[in-house]
A and B are shown apart, each in its own frame.
Chain A
């Protein structure tokens, strides 16, 4: 086969060599013919662009252009990443800039927050990747939340590892819109900008299965033992989306509702649209975007986060003891449910129900997701199904 290709190549090259002089002359002629027209075009374009740029320099920058811009100075570069990887330091926090070749340096995307070590399943080596924080795309959006990284097939000759990022958290748009959900950037190349696309829990579930199958096949192929990284075996049994939502750093209510959507869409008999609906409408979350109350150097982001929280949290008026009846029309009870997680952190979230049994299931659901009790996710969903007739405790929505 190779000899045929080489022979073909030689023949084509010979023919091309003979025809080259003629073709070159024709090309030169054609280029000359359009040269005057192009010179006029270039001259006009240059004049108009210079006029435009001069006027723009005096005008106030547009809200979109100034959103999350300019890119702050990087504090976590290759040296810091290498040191974190090799020295075994407990934590790394800072700002890492990625390259967007289509943008000038002042508008490159960047991550700010905590970093973590993770295992690249295909390269069989540890990498440093994002943990929790914000991924900012100047002029476009910020993705705030907990990040997970999944290594993807990377050829030996490739200089950068390939992988996918999943964020469970919030997207804050330049236009002030805020959505909570799951976002995925697939086939990302180390060092280069990430393009996040909203994803549903069912897609994550499918993604997980594809990822696991591919990794298993790869590992069988290279006959090596699996090692390190995320405990994907445990995740598989429980559902990938549930694990990611549970381990996210979102406030309890956001986590609960994302979890409900996940159970509905993946584990239950839902129509698969629960998360889409939530993601589009935004969540009535309490507290802040992070339970940890992080603060960022990102230009304008702290103000943005404060704005995103303002007016979102519904005020629960009832007490945990009895609950206050709402309008007779719905006969629903809303109460503030408080619980303490095994780790000692306390949470309070509003729970609304008609049937007390369903209310109890909701509280269990809230606690399980709020405390990230991964082992109880499935059981909580079953209790919702039994008490409320719905796998996401959706008696009152």
Chain B
């Protein structure tokens, strides 16, 4: 109810701005600019508020060590893809699809098929994919032993159809550190990825036209790079070590941290933070949500957002009043 009233208040404020703008004869752009100004300032204030919180801190020494590592690394690389690849050396002599599998841990055809199930076309420009070595050894069979590599790729994602068709092209640089044995990842891994995306829609004569907006701050959000840090273990340590992901894009007010703690029996617990605020949490089973997922109340741009909970059973949303897995 509070959120609803606040939302109405915001709409009224915007309406006031628009009405005011309408009184200003001779300034054609006033209406748009006024709305932009209000939205942009609220958005930037929210981004600054969340950004100032920093990352969540943990009592668990293993989790806290990961947070410390991320903070040091983020200070070093930020969201600069060129810094991430600056010390990359020799090119890995891999076939494009092998390079894809080394970076993404899934076969190219397999990934396409998985997306196709959901009506999404996912492609990678295999002519442009490359893997370079920072440390360790890489030959035509791949990487063996401890190594650090840097990969570059261009991914294409097509969703929707007709007027709602959208094509998103993402250029990524990934820096992966860990150890490989027999072509498989073993032990703790850390992946840093910096990506930059552009969205297109069907244009004239069968071409693609870049999505346009005359709202400067939206264009700024859209064009800003996103950085992602992923800490995850493979092999025997898979069940014991947490999976921690940090996602940062200050222009888009994105300061996400996700922690999934896992147990040997396949169960686990997932927590999602924005800044240091716990926004969502719930149990998992075999990697899927299983039990109550709690959405914590919080504020967004000064407005209250109500909390709630949803029941998930093996990854399926179920409407119920009791939910096993708690």
- Which A residues contact B (CB, under 8 angstroms)? 2, 4-17, 19-20, 23-24, 26-27, 30-31, 34, 37-38, 41-42, 44-46, 48-49, 52, 62, 64-65, 101-104, 107, 139, 184, 186, 197-200, 202-203, 206-207, 271-273, 276, 280
Can you list 26 residue pairs at the A/B interface with Cβ under 8 Å?
A2-B16, A5-B15, A5-B19, A7-B16, A9-B34, A10-B21, A12-B21, A12-B37, A13-B17, A16-B34, A16-B37, A17-B29, A23-B216, A26-B216, A30-B220, A31-B219, A38-B198, A42-B207, A48-B123, A62-B116, A65-B116, A104-B162, A184-B319, A197-B319, A199-B318, A199-B319
B207 touches A44 (CB 8 A): no
Please tell me if B23 contacts chain A, counting CB pairs below 8 Å: yes
A78 to B95, CA, bound (A): 57
A27 touches B320 (CB 8 A): no
**Complex partner residue of B33 from A20, A34, A45, CB under 8 angstroms:** A20
Contacts of A31 in B (CB 8 A): 219
Q: Which residues of chain B from 50 to 77 have a CB within 8 Å of any chain A CB?
A: none
Contacts of A41 in B (CB 8 A): 154, 169, 171, 198, 200
A52 to B30, CA, bound (A): 45
**Complex partner residue of A44 from B33, B156, B159, B318, CB under 8 angstroms:** B156
A41 to B125, CA, bound (A): 10
Q: Which residues of chain B from 201 to 238 have a CB within 8 Å of any chain A CB?
A: 206-210, 214, 216, 219-220, 223
A13 touches B324 (CB 8 A): no
Given A13-B20, A24-B29, also A48-B37 (CB < 8 A):
no
A19 to B16, CA, bound (A): 19
List 7 other contacts, CB 8 Å, given A5-B13, A30-B216. A44-B156, A102-B164, A103-B119, A139-B119, A198-B316, A198-B317, A203-B319
A20 to B31, CA, bound (A): 11
**Complex partner residue of A200 from B158, B216, B320, CB under 8 angstroms:** B320
Instruction: Name the residue on B nearest A195 (C-beta).
Output: B317
Tell me whether chain A's interface is mostly helix, strand or loop, or mixed: helix
**Complex partner residue of A15 from B37, B113, B154, CB under 8 angstroms:** B37
B167 touches A16 (CB 8 A): no
A276 to B314, CA, bound (A): 12
A100 to B200, CA, bound (A): 21
**Distance from A9 Cβ to chain B, minimum over Cβ atoms (Å):** 3
Instruction: Name the residue on A nearest B324 (C-beta).
Output: A273
Query: Which 9 A/B pairs are nearest by Cβ-Cβ distance?
Result: A9-B20, A5-B16, A16-B33, A10-B20, A272-B322, A199-B319, A9-B17, A13-B21, A9-B16
The interface size of chain B toward A, counting residues with CB under 8 Å, comes to: 60
**Distance from A53 Cβ to chain B, minimum over Cβ atoms (Å):** 8
**Distance from A310 Cβ to chain B, minimum over Cβ atoms (Å):** 25
A49 touches B121 (CB 8 A): yes
Please tell me if B191 contacts chain A, counting CB pairs below 8 Å: no
A17 touches B33 (CB 8 A): yes
A199 touches B36 (CB 8 A): no
Please tell me if B183 contacts chain A, counting CB pairs below 8 Å: no
Instruction: Name the residue on A nearest B212 (C-beta).
Output: A31
B313 touches A48 (CB 8 A): no
| Contact indicator per residue, chain B 162-205, by CB within 8 Å of chain A (1) or not (0) | 10100101010000000000000000000000000010100000
- Which B residues contact A (CB, under 8 angstroms)? 12-13, 15-21, 23-24, 27, 29-31, 33-34, 36-38, 113, 116-117, 119, 121, 123, 125, 128, 154, 156, 158-162, 164, 167, 169, 171, 198, 200, 206-210, 214, 216, 219-220, 223, 313, 316-322, 324
**Complex partner residue of A62 from B17, B27, B117, B123, CB under 8 angstroms:** B117
**Complex partner residue of B161 from A20, A103, A186, CB under 8 angstroms:** A103
Given A12-B37, A15-B37, also A104-B24 (CB < 8 A):
no
A27 to B219, CA, bound (A): 8
**Complex partner residue of B156 from A6, A7, A48, A198, CB under 8 angstroms:** A48
Contacts of B17 in A (CB 8 A): 5, 8-9, 12-13
A49 touches B169 (CB 8 A): no
Query: Considering residues A34, A44, A203, which has the most beta carbons from chain B within 10 angstroms of its beta carbon?
Result: A44
**Distance from B202 Cβ to chain A, minimum over Cβ atoms (Å):** 10
Given A17-B24, A62-B117, also A12-B161 (CB < 8 A):
no
**Distance from A70 Cβ to chain B, minimum over Cβ atoms (Å):** 13
**Complex partner residue of A10 from B23, B123, B128, B210, CB under 8 angstroms:** B23
**Complex partner residue of A30 from B16, B37, B219, CB under 8 angstroms:** B219
B116 touches A12 (CB 8 A): no
A8 touches B200 (CB 8 A): no
A9 touches B18 (CB 8 A): yes
Contacts of A19 in B (CB 8 A): 33, 37
Contacts of A37 in B (CB 8 A): 198
Contacts of A48 in B (CB 8 A): 123, 125, 156
A62 to B121, CA, bound (A): 13
**Distance from A257 Cβ to chain B, minimum over Cβ atoms (Å):** 18
A272 touches B27 (CB 8 A): no
**Distance from B300 Cβ to chain A, minimum over Cβ atoms (Å):** 21
A197 touches B317 (CB 8 A): yes
